[in-house]
Amino acid sequence: MQNNIFSGLFVGQNLVVLKQVDSTNTYLKNLLSNSEPIAEGTVIMAEDQYAGRGQQQNRWHAQPGKNLTFSLLLKPTFLSPTRQFQLNKLVSLAVADAAQKACGRAINIKWPNDIYWGDKKLGGILIENALQGGVIKNSVIGIGLNVNQDVFPPDAPNPASVKQILHADYDLNTLLSDICSNIEAGYLRLKAGNETELNDRYLARLYRLNEQHTFAAGDEVFEGSVTGVTEEGLLKVATANGERTFNFKEIQFLQPLK
């Protein structure tokens, strides 16, 4: 592991940079399974991640050397499993805040934790928690953010990059440092019990909040508006038949017609 110039107390202070790996989340989980003592805040960054994963085993496409693909380790033993969605909130906000600083444009969070510019996807987050004795022992947080890539595979869902917004390249290390600093600050606030601000800020950044749109749930297509999330992380949608809640992958945001 190598030290780096990050200014935080622990997130990013141990940095491993890999030339190529299938998945940084898998790499980090393998390190943990070897019973090695891994410092909290350790970051595994890949220049080329050829089998990156998103939610529910979705593939994450990233051109080598042009984007941020990394994972970091947190040990939120203070957080009960029923409150683990708080991690999604703080990490999503950390990435969105850093992306907005870089782009100078409004960046939103598409529930649960995709990073969006308008109706286009800038990045995604995959959090894998290991539970032990009623607490979260380890949290492996994978982050993929499109930065300097401007050509995407035809099957990529509505992609966008920082470069496409700025019409210029952006320094990967600066963006990585900003994200890590934001995660550390949010994590320490969460650990101190300051959840009200976290909840309010996540709600304020929610994609399509209080906007009427079309959704799909299974074979059903319906109109509704996102109103928030429950404490457990379920999406709340107001419909003509009242408020409904949805778990991950139970609801699809349909894109507006062009």
CATH number at residue 148: 3.30.930.10
- Judge if 40 and 77 occupy the same domain: yes
- Judge if 130 and 221 occupy the same domain: no
Domain-located, residue 19: yes
Token pair recorded at residue 184: 């550390």
Domain-located, residue 3: no
- Judge if 238 and 178 occupy the same domain: no
- Judge if 181 and 224 occupy the same domain: no
Q: Which residues, in sequence order, are CB contacts of 143 under 8 Å at separation 6+?
A: 68, 69, 70, 71, 72, 91, 95, 123, 124, 125, 179
Domain-located, residue 119: yes
Domain-located, residue 90: yes
Three-state secondary structure along the chain? CECCCCCCCCCCCCEEEECCECCHHHHHHHHHHCCCCCCCCCEEEECCECCEECHHHCEECCCCCCCEEEEEEECCCCCCHHHCHHHHHHHHHHHHHHHHHHHCCCCEEECCCEEEECCEEEEEEEEEEEEECCEEEEEEEEEEECCCCCCCCCCCCCECCHHHHHCCCCCHHHHHHHHHHHHHHHHHHHHCCCCHHHHHHHHHCECCECCEEEEEECCEEEEEEEEEECCCCCEEEEECCEEEEECCCCCEECCCCC
Determine the pLDDT at residue 6.
75
pTM: 0.93
Determine the pLDDT at residue 255.
78
How many separate domains does the chain show? 2
Domain that holds residue 187: 14-205
Give CA torsion, residues 142, 169, 166, 88, to 10 deg.
10
Domain-located, residue 200: yes
Domain boundary among 189, 205, 221: 205
Domain-located, residue 34: yes
Domain boundary among 186, 205, 224: 205
- Judge if 233 and 150 occupy the same domain: no
- Judge if 43 and 147 occupy the same domain: yes
**Binned average pLDDT, 10 residues per bin, the chain of 258 residues:** 66 93 95 89 93 55 87 96 96 98 97 96 96 94 96 89 97 96 97 94 97 96 97 96 95 80
- The Cα–Cα gap between 225 and 242 comes to 11
- Judge if 199 and 216 occupy the same domain: no
- Judge if 42 and 133 occupy the same domain: yes
- Judge if 118 and 241 occupy the same domain: no
Domain-located, residue 148: yes
- Judge if 84 and 187 occupy the same domain: yes
- Judge if 30 and 68 occupy the same domain: yes
- Judge if 190 and 224 occupy the same domain: no
